[in-house]
Structure 1
Amino acid sequence: MNSNQLYPEATREMAEKKAGLAPEITDAFRYFSKTVFKEGALPEKTKQLIAVAVAHVTQCLYCIRSHTKQAMKKGASKQEIMEAIWVAAEMRAGGAYAHAAIALDEMEGNKASI
């Protein structure tokens, strides 16, 4: 990692090091991931667009890069990818707004349990 990078680059070497520390779990995760993203009731392109949106909500830089690349390989347009990102932004903002009810409840002295 150079001094200008915030996160290390995702390399094959890094992946192999991580896998070597927990190979059985890594194999299970890779199988799970391949299974999730296979064509099913949802087309692969749609699954990758969902992943792009979720990656923006979880703020996983590696996932954003990987799933954006995969979405494009599966035929997603730049416009479709950007719309998926806007859906993620709306859902994140909507969640914050909806949870304002908890703060309001607290400010009003209610003792609701969470």
Structure 2
Amino acid sequence: METQHNSTEQALHQYKIGMGQFEEKMPQLVSTFNAFTQECFKEGTLSQKQKQLIALGIGLYSQDEYCIIYHTKGCLDQGCSEEEILEACGVTAAFGGGASLSQAVTLVQECIQELKGTTH
């Protein structure tokens, strides 16, 4: 990958380690945040698959590499095809322009290729 991470899995691992360290220092905040996000991403009128696609788009728009990686994995875990993921990236690029598209054509595609072997 051409990011600060050596691999998608390493980035996910670094996020988990960082969250664990933060949780040791701020347990109530992390517990509340986790409960909130679990509620946001549970199956509802929108499926978990749709919610992951939305989250990926927001991650792309906000240029948050960890969220891009995390939600690309979430999309794959929820059964999204590569075409669905890339179409969501295209919609995001309609709002976020070149910055969003540059993450889609690099980081998202790299994540899909790396994670396909480990998630499916």
Under a length normalisation based on structure 2, what TM-score does the superposition of the two structures give?
0.68
Aligned with residue 6 of structure 1, among 4, 15, 25: 4
Q: Which residue of 1 aligns with 2:48?
A: 44
Instruction: Tell me which structure has the larger Cα radius of gyration.
Output: 1
Q: Which residue of 1 aligns with 2:89?
A: 85
Residues 61-102 of structure 1: CA distance to partner in whole angstroms, max 9, x if unpaired?
Answer: 111111111111111000100110111110124xxxxxxxxx
Partner Cα separation in structure 1 for residue 66 and residue 90 of structure 2: 19
Query: What RMSD, in angstroms, separates the aligned Cα atoms of the two structures?
Result: 1.9
Residues 19-46 of structure 1: CA distance to partner in whole angstroms, max 9, x if unpaired?
Answer: 1121101100000011000000101000
The one-letter amino acid paired with 2:82 is K
Where does 1:47-86 land on structure 2 (aligned, <5 Å)? Answer: 47-86=51-90
Q: Is the 8 A contact 2:15 2:66 kept in 1?
A: no
Matched residue SS, 1:6: coil
Unaligned runs of 5+ in 1: 94-114
Partner Cα separation in structure 2 for residue 11 and residue 55 of structure 1: 15
Partner Cα separation in structure 2 for residue 11 and residue 86 of structure 1: 26
**Larger helix percent:** 2
Structure of higher RCO (CA pairs closer than 8 Å, 6+ residues apart): 2
- Going from structure 1 to structure 2, the CA distance change for 1:87 and 1:30 (only over 3 Å counts) comes to same
